[in-house]
Structure 1
Amino acid sequence: MQFKQIVGQHAVKQRLLNSVKENRVSHAQLFLGPEGSGSLALAVAYAQYLSCEDKQPDDSCGVCSSCRKYQKLMHPDLHFSYPFFAKHKDDTALSFIEQWRDAFINHPYISLDIWRNYLDAENKQANINIAECHQIIKKLSLKPFESQYKILILWLPEYLDKEGNSLLKIIEEPQPNTLFLLVAQNQDQILNTILSRTQLIKVPVLGYDDIKQHMLAEHHQTENAAAEIAYLSNGNITEALSMLQQDTKSYHQLFVQWLRMCITNKGIEIVGFVDGLSKMGRENQKNFLRYGVSFIRECCLLLAGADSLVHLPAQELETAQKMIKVMPLPATQAISAELEKAHYHVERNANPKILFLDVSLQITKILFFKTIPQGTHYIPN
């Protein structure tokens, strides 16, 4: 993995490059970023750059012996630890290393859901067990084999329970030229004893333009499709890539059609529309609702006069400007809450026909009858 292969994050890349050039490489670093920000890919690219035999000014060379091994995740001085679904108490990350290599090479922006699909997870909970902690200590007690550094990349340290305290000594006093690169999504769920021993590198969500340009350049999407995916993914490249595998739909047209039916209280038409939504499939239903939440949020910004913060394609912006004439701010807030609840229930396999019919009735109450769900407060005309 090279820096140039990672979408956006130019400031973070430059910070990592500077740390190497200025010889300020901390032995324990925490890459903290939300899902789909590219934090794990950045950690791997950083490790490859540190081990590269012919470092370039802004990236690893990609062709030396070390880089070729990194591209296959088979360098002897590169180690991984990650949550897994243990079948036996003695299982460690090494028990699943082939699946891990396959998963990361195919999905550099891997999520726990994607990783679960590579394993026989059944109903087990993912964790990093005490056997894995002991394995980490054993591996890192040895000197580097080929490169200047021996590097451990620990993905999702949130899944370390109190057993993680067994790693404190080796994190605080590692062998010479041993690096810990922790990659996390939620700082509050990391053991404070580990958090206090690492240098924090914050990885922000990706920008709308970064994802849109990636969709155009690397995945040959049309301008409208790239804009919709970038908008819908909300800075999460994992979600954006997932959308490429789903049916191509104009969520904007579907959502606006739905709102117009609810505004005019077209009961029979709503029932037929709901029947179509119920057959879309769970992922498309989630994306449809996610689009709705995002679109309504942009309407809220327009109503609040924050036009400069709105990121809608021209056609969708024109529609939003028309819709806010019949959707005051309390109504948009109430609709957004209903859509978020619906998304939650779709994820938990609610009956889609019943669910979407109920949401339609709630939106009709809000827009046609001008009734906010909480109590009997009416929006003045």
Structure 2
Amino acid sequence: MQFRKIIGQESIKQQLIQTVVENRVSHAQLFLSCDGSGALPMAIAYAQYINCLNKTPEDSCGECSSCRKYERYIHPDLHFSYPFFASKDVKIAVDVLEEWRGMLLEDAYFDMDIWRSKLSAENKQANINIAECHDIIKKLSYKAFEGDTKVLIMWLPEYLDKEGNSLLKIIEEPPANTLFILVANNQEQILSTLLSRTQIVKIPKLDYAIVESYLMQEFGLSENQATEYSFLADGNLIEAKQLVASTQNEHADRFAEWLRMGYGNRVLDMAGFVEQIAGWGRENQKNFLKYGISFMRECSLLISGADELVKLPVSALQTAQKLSKHVLDLSMADAIISELEKAHYHIERNANPKILFLDVSLQLVKIIKFKTLPKGTQYIYN
């Protein structure tokens, strides 16, 4: 993985290259980012650059023996650790290394949901267990085989429980020429003992314009379509690609009509809408709710008078302006966002979509038509 293959993040690339040029590479670093920002590819590109035999001021060469092995993720001094589902056949991360390499070769931009789909999860919880920690210590105790630096990239250290404390000594006093890179999404969920021993590199969300340009170049989308997907993905390249692959993406008109049904107390129409959405499949249902959450947040900005911050595509902006002016107020927008977020949470956990969307529809009527929402409302689903 070369830096040039990573979408955007030019300032972070230059910052990392500069640490190598100036010989001030910290031995333990935490790449902190949101999903879809490219933190994992960035960590791999950084490791490849460090071990490249013919590096340039801009990137690794991509042609030396080290780079060729890095491109296929088979360099003997490149090690990965990641969450997995332990079983009688899977004790440590290396037991699913082929699946991991296959995932990286297919597309290095992925999240936990995509990774889970590649494994046999059953009803197990993913984690990085004590056996994996011991294997990490064992691997890093050996001398480097080929490169100048041994590298361990740990993806999602949030899945380390207290067993992660067994790694503290090797992180604090690593063998010579050893680099740890932790790639995380949530700083609050990382062991504080690990966090205090790393140098944090914050990788921001991708700009809308970068995601939009990528979608137009890679998938041949029109500017309007790329703008809409970029807005919906909110800087998450993974979500943007999923939207392109989805067959149900024209959410703006549907969502606006759903709000109008609530305002008009058109319960029968809502029941028919629920029948339609129940047949979309869970990914499309989740995308619809994500769009609704993003749309309502933009409406909140319009209601608050912060029009210059609104990033809605032109096709949806007029609708949002009308709703914000004639139908919604700020408290209503906040209440709707809360209901949509709860619905998204339950859809991810396999709630019955007909019951869920009918209940949310009735909540919309209460919020928009009657402008009241009972406090402490809770969902109960079959």
The answer to whether TM tops 0.5 is: yes
Instruction: Give the whole-Å Cα distance in 2 for the aligned partners of 1:193 and 1:352.
Output: 42
Letter matched to residue 233 of structure 2:
S
**Most deviating of 85-94 and 130-139:** 85-94
Do the aligned residues in 2 keep the contact of 1:255 with 1:292 (CA within 8 Å)? yes
Match of 1:168 in 2: 168
Match of 1:93 in 2: 93
Match of 1:264 in 2: 264
Instruction: Please report how far the alpha carbon of residue 20 of structure 1 lies from its aligned counterpart in structure 2 after TM superposition.
Output: 0.7
Instruction: Give the whole-Å Cα distance in 2 for the aligned partners of 1:371 and 1:85.
Output: 44
Pair 1:346 & 2:347 matched: yes
Match of 1:34 in 2: 34
Pair 1:336 & 2:337 matched: yes
Do the aligned residues in 2 keep the contact of 1:206 with 1:235 (CA within 8 Å)? yes
Do the aligned residues in 1 keep the contact of 2:90 with 2:96 (CA within 8 Å)? no
Letter matched to residue 370 of structure 1:
K
Instruction: Give the whole-Å Cα distance in 2 for the aligned partners of 1:248 and 1:292.
Output: 14
RMSD of aligned residue pairs (Cα, Å): 1.6
Do the aligned residues in 2 keep the contact of 1:81 with 1:155 (CA within 8 Å)? yes
The number of residues matched between the two structures is: 375
Instruction: Please report how far the alpha carbon of residue 89 of structure 1 lies from its aligned counterpart in structure 2 after TM superposition.
Output: 8.9
SS in 2 for 1:339: helix
Instruction: Give the whole-Å Cα distance in 2 for the aligned partners of 1:32 and 1:166.
Output: 22
Instruction: Please report how far the alpha carbon of residue 47 of structure 1 lies from its aligned counterpart in structure 2 after TM superposition.
Output: 0.5
Do the aligned residues in 1 keep the contact of 2:31 with 2:183 (CA within 8 Å)? yes
Instruction: Give the whole-Å Cα distance in 1 for the aligned partners of 2:375 and 2:282.
Output: 29
- 1:127–1:255 CA distance, 2 compared to 1 (3 A): same
Instruction: Please report how far the alpha carbon of residue 249 of structure 1 lies from its aligned counterpart in structure 2 after TM superposition.
Output: 2.6
Gap runs ≥5 in structure 2: 377-382
**Most deviating of 333-342 and 297-306:** 333-342
Instruction: Please report how far the alpha carbon of residue 280 of structure 1 lies from its aligned counterpart in structure 2 after TM superposition.
Output: 0.9
Instruction: Please report how far the alpha carbon of residue 90 of structure 1 lies from its aligned counterpart in structure 2 after TM superposition.
Output: 7.7
Do the aligned residues in 2 keep the contact of 1:36 with 1:236 (CA within 8 Å)? yes
Match of 2:285 in 1: 285
Do the aligned residues in 1 keep the contact of 2:51 with 2:148 (CA within 8 Å)? yes
Instruction: Please report how far the alpha carbon of residue 372 of structure 1 lies from its aligned counterpart in structure 2 after TM superposition.
Output: 4.0
Instruction: Give the whole-Å Cα distance in 2 for the aligned partners of 1:31 and 1:145.
Output: 26
For each residue in 1:301-349, what CA deviation from the matched residue of structure 2 results, as whole angstroms up to 9, or x when unmatched? 0111111111011221111111112212222122112211211221122
SS in 1 for 2:18: helix
- 1:90–1:340 CA distance, 2 compared to 1 (3 A): closer
Instruction: Give the whole-Å Cα distance in 1 for the aligned partners of 2:112 and 2:295.
Output: 27
SS in 1 for 2:151: strand
Letter matched to residue 215 of structure 1:
L
Pair 1:63 & 2:77 matched: no
TM-score, L = length of structure 2: 0.94
Gap runs ≥5 in structure 1: 376-381
Pair 1:362 & 2:359 matched: no
Instruction: Give the whole-Å Cα distance in 2 for the aligned partners of 1:131 and 1:249.
Output: 43
Instruction: Give the whole-Å Cα distance in 2 for the aligned partners of 1:333 and 1:192.
Output: 33
Do the aligned residues in 1 keep the contact of 2:243 with 2:249 (CA within 8 Å)? no
Instruction: Give the whole-Å Cα distance in 2 for the aligned partners of 1:53 and 1:88.
Output: 41
Match of 1:83 in 2: 83
For each residue in 1:28-47, what CA deviation from the matched residue of structure 2 results, as whole angstroms up to 9, or x when unmatched? 11111122221111100100
TM-score, L = length of structure 1: 0.94
Match of 1:327 in 2: 328
Do the aligned residues in 2 keep the contact of 1:362 with 1:373 (CA within 8 Å)? no
For each residue in 1:121-167, what CA deviation from the matched residue of structure 2 results, as whole angstroms up to 9, or x when unmatched? 11111111222112111111122111111111111112222222221
- 1:166–1:368 CA distance, 2 compared to 1 (3 A): closer
SS in 2 for 1:120: coil
Percent identity over the alignment is: 59
**Most deviating of 189-198 and 44-53:** 189-198
- 1:336–1:74 CA distance, 2 compared to 1 (3 A): same
**Most deviating of 264-273 and 245-254:** 264-273
Instruction: Please report how far the alpha carbon of residue 27 of structure 1 lies from its aligned counterpart in structure 2 after TM superposition.
Output: 0.8
Q: How does 1:175-214 map to 2 (within 5 A)?
A: 175-214=175-214
Stretches (4+) displaced over 6 A: none
